[in-house]
Chain A
């Protein structure tokens, strides 16, 4: 965690990621970056790749509009010892690469009996609130969670996105790196009033951030990730300042496999009566659902007589509208998260 960076001068999520991309390419000639429209001066649809093609022209490859082939090529590169970082312009298009992720990248290492590694990172921006409509606003990561052999990680503005990206490359297994398109411009900050603690383990290397109120156990906890981190934090502040309710925040970076050991560590610290799971996708068969199940399993074993009220808070179970008002209404806001929690007290 580079709290140092944060205090020295304000850095945005975008700057953090872009700087990490530069460090990765400069530090390792095996790193190859490929994706659509990533050459300078354009530098990628969301500019994460800006400057790379000028600096490393031979290892930054702009591709045709072929998401399946982009990830397929990256798979081939990874099998042969390179360190590809592929960009899918909008997360919505990850469906076109699903076969490469699920039937190739995720399987090679295991099905070839550990004779190969697939050090692949697929970066892609997900999420709405930008008015891009039904096919450019989704949070599709829930569809690729739970695939054996495939990691899914999500940076957020309360952590260190650049380090998370470097960690993903260093892992040497396929990682889908889910960025939040509304968060690129956010500054990296952490609320001073909350105590921050990070959990990371060998089994679940991507850090879970635990933000707690000082003094005494909280009234509830909100779990979230990625673009929901600032939204959930706002809900935490609102509940504290307006309603006098103290809710902890847990920001997960490892979406898949579920960081069960982190959850265990959190529950060992104390079991809250109310836990909310805030995600931008509709909560049906989603990330929060998996956490509820996992946390219940842990609770049943460590505190069989206690009970937890679980609350999944997600977007509407419809496509995402282009209309600004409709979109904002249908995606979970800080007010909604706070209101849903308030109902529990």
Chain B
């Protein structure tokens, strides 16, 4: 069993607190992504779990036992660094073998394990090369190999793909996911890229300014973001967010220009709220049934779909339309809203639930 728990983890650099008490429960064999904008404390948290950084308060548990006093070596973890951190003076074979040598593994066993790891990562032909003679993708695979040559309880990844080009990044996403399944290990994966988090993780932890904002399955975060921050962070293109207020009955949303939308649901009446609608939940609609009228400003064809940006009385709006949409810049168009999928946030940015009259 290798579940990972953090209890009220705090971290201070000097007088600045960068983690404000992180409570996490990561199940055995789970793949959890820590996601958040740059500087929110993801790496710091991961490094505290690894034992590379001391925490200022709280406790880290692996397999139910506290590891706060253990060195990285004794925590039975492996880590893949963003910079790969390969040993520049050792060839690929020795890079992979180093961890086994440090743990006094018998020679024959080292060779078997190194070759198996190299095989799994298509590195067999490069075992004699120095890291400097490898491409970025190959270096990345060596960094992965160094982690999986030994079977650790927990894999830690710190933005392992961010130095790769887009195509390789997509390939490696599936690759890492596959390795995670083959190895039956617990994985914690740090990334600032919400697409990586959405596609790879069983569960996502959203961090913002040193606090956990929301924890949930990818689609839970997508369908019910807990705050406006999560709403705008998860999903691409971004959710459309409008500021306005609810009428006394809580059934209509008004903006300062005077326009309003019927919500088809009841919220508790709030003076100042944010309405969110995903581009997927909007549809261009020329008929009278349209909810909002606007003028098309930009049309982006991405191939599989078309993104249409419309200026409306509520503000600029992004609509995800089918491929080969006939929308033309300058056209006046109607936009239809899927009322089942509206998101409402109160003045402090917290999600409001509908129904409570």
| Chains A and B are bound partners | no
Measuring CB to CB, which residues of chain A are less than 8 angstroms from any residue of chain B?
A: none
